[in-house]
Amino acid sequence: MSQSNLILPTKACHNCRKRRWKCDRSLPVCQKCLSSGSECLGYGTLFVWRQGASRGKMMGKSFEGGSTNKERQEHAPSQKPTSLRHCDNARDDTETPHSAPSTVVKQETGDMTIQWALVDPLVKDLDQHARYYLLHFASQLCADMVVYDQPGENPFRDLIPATSANPLLLQVILANSAFHVYNLSREPVDQSAIQGNRKQCLAAYYRTVSRFGGPMKTSYRDALVAKQQGLSLLAQAVTSINESTFDVVLASILLFINYDLIESGIDKWRVHMEGARRLINLFGDTPFQQRGMSRLRKCLLADLLVFFVLGSTLDFQNSPKRLLPESVDVKPLLEYAETNNYLSCPAPLLYIMLRAFELPDVRTEFTAEESISNHNEIRRLLESALSFNAVHWAASFQPASPLEDLEKRVLIASAHRSAVCIYLTRILPTTHADSLLGTLTDFNVSFSDLATDIVHHISKLSPGDTVFKSITWPLFLAGAESNNPAQRALIIEKLDMLWNELYWGYILTVKELLGVIWNFKDRAAKGEDICWVNEVKRMGTELLIA
């Protein structure tokens, strides 16, 4: 994919220039215009629309019966005049809510001026629904996939201009957006819901979609159609992939994983992750060395690596435990991920989990000596995780934005630390999981302590905090360990808040799985030590909790 496809506008849009606003130069429309309810007039040349000929005998005449502008306005005083004098202030008042922003070109021929509308080339071949879905992706989903959605710093937004030349990328983006719209459309709506601050995502949807003819009633079907078309195009793309198309294909695979998260987070994402792994290893290690790697590729690899780590949390199928070739240094990618990947997991903790994946499963056909060696390695990893100090980590953290709130980062990092400890102890293959924590006399910590620590830190986060979207994975592990009804209620309350922020289907799946785990634990005989991991294994669900 050429760099030229990903260049953002260098100037403010026409509306922002006119109103002296600070434009964010987003595509396909400016977010400042969108939030103010204005139609964005775009960034290119804005041509003058004149009513009638501009010179000669027909000057001042319209082409609808030969009346002058003055005569026409006298007969229709309620209509806005369409003669605009200055290009920077021009606006096409004939634009309907169902069309993309357009401009009008005039061409003078003899004594007459011929005029016609131009639609943004990015959307000129798309129908009304597809145009809205592309706008929805730009205005909502792009922001969900990073911590800070800043102009020129969001690689997912930078992909949008490339959709005009890449049908695969277009279809997977449309699929993501359409299914997200479907999630929104299933939410019960009343005036308080769409006007209040509790459900800003829902309010933004209804405010914007009204310009495209109202709520999209075919969003579910549209999502499935776009997904199938995207999968077909992906199958074709991987057969002829090369260095120039690698990023587009990899970005599409990552967006298919995002689609599965928006849908439910269950099972299907694993196929795409395995496809990404094979594709990456097909190219060897040369394209993935840090020197010369583009920001887009670094972002794609970092996001895939984070999903790979967290997706392996509940993987009991002995799937491959390495995403990148062994010769590739993953630490710089993990450090990149901790800054603006929306899961906000500190790089040292992610690295500990990657090291844990390399351990053998000693529950089958291993000697006692090998089992003890594995147990000791898990203990060392657990001690490293328990020793992680979020405050010290934050002191050397490289902020992704000048608006960075390090206090909030410390809270979510502390929650991740306890979640990693639960993972290392409960889920890793060892024959001594139940007694492992008890042997760490220097830390004196229990499963209930770790769960309480997670809930304690996350309880201080609220919707509106940039890292609030990072709470699901640690909350799930805390909930799985919790036996306290009040604590469980708080966990569900936080997940409900997150649902009202994002409307991604995996959040509902996590709530359902917690309900199954709690029923399993509550049915157990009083005093019996029940490991919830066994119940999850029995269900056979591969859940990506992001």
Mean pLDDT score of the chain: 79
Residue, of 250 and 74, whose pLDDT is higher? 250
Between helices 219-239 and 246-263, what is the axis angle to 10°?
Answer: 150
Categorize the per-residue pLDDT at 120 as very low, low, confident or very high, splitting at 50, 70 and 90.
low
Average pLDDT over residues 414-423: 94
Average pLDDT over residues 20-49: 69
- Percent of the chain surpassing pLDDT 70: 73
pLDDT in tens, 365-386: 566 776 777 778 888 899 999 9
pLDDT in tens, 468-497: 999 999 999 999 999 999 999 999 999 999
Q: What local confidence, expressed as pLDDT, does residue 79 receive?
A: 34
Amino acid of residue 403: L
Q: pTM for this one?
A: 0.76
Does pLDDT of 105 surpass 60? no
Q: What local confidence, expressed as pLDDT, does residue 376 receive?
A: 81
Does pLDDT of 318 surpass 70? no
Distance separating alpha carbons of residues 511 and 517, to the nearest angstrom: 10
Residue, of 7 and 175, whose pLDDT is higher? 175
Residue with tokens 């229990």: 446
**Residue-range domain boundaries for the chain:** 10-41, 241-539
Q: What local confidence, expressed as pLDDT, does residue 57 receive?
A: 44
Residue, of 2 and 418, whose pLDDT is higher? 418
For 159, which DSSP code? Answer: T
Dihedral sign for Cα 377, 380, 385, 386, please.
positive
Task: Answer yes or no: are the C-beta atoms of 112 and 54 closer than 8 Å.
Answer: no
Residue, of 427 and 184, whose pLDDT is higher? 184
Contacts of 406 (CB under 8 A, 6+ apart): 394, 397, 399
Helix (H) or strand (E) holding 481: helix 472-481
pLDDT in tens, 320-362: 778 888 888 889 899 999 988 889 999 999 999 998 887 776 5
The torsion angles phi and psi of 426, rounded to 5 degrees, stand at -85, -40
Q: Out of 110-124, 199-213, 472-486, pick the least confident.
A: 110-124
Categorize the per-residue pLDDT at 100 as very low, low, confident or very high, splitting at 50, 70 and 90.
very low
Categorize the per-residue pLDDT at 189 as very low, low, confident or very high, splitting at 50, 70 and 90.
low
Residue with tokens 């569900």: 492
Average pLDDT over residues 521-540: 78
- Percent of the chain surpassing pLDDT 90: 40
Residue with tokens 């709690």: 518
Q: What local confidence, expressed as pLDDT, does residue 107 receive?
A: 45
Architecture of domain 10-41 in CATH?
Answer: Irregular (4.10)
Task: Answer yes or no: are the C-beta atoms of 245 and 289 closer than 8 Å.
Answer: no
DSSP labels, 309-366: HHHGGG--S-----SS-TTS--HHHHHHHHHHBTT---HHHHHHHHHHHTS--TTSS-
Residue with tokens 């994946």: 357
Q: What local confidence, expressed as pLDDT, does residue 130 receive?
A: 92
Categorize the per-residue pLDDT at 37 as very low, low, confident or very high, splitting at 50, 70 and 90.
low
Residue, of 394 and 13, whose pLDDT is higher? 394
pLDDT in tens, 152-168: 788 999 899 999 899 99
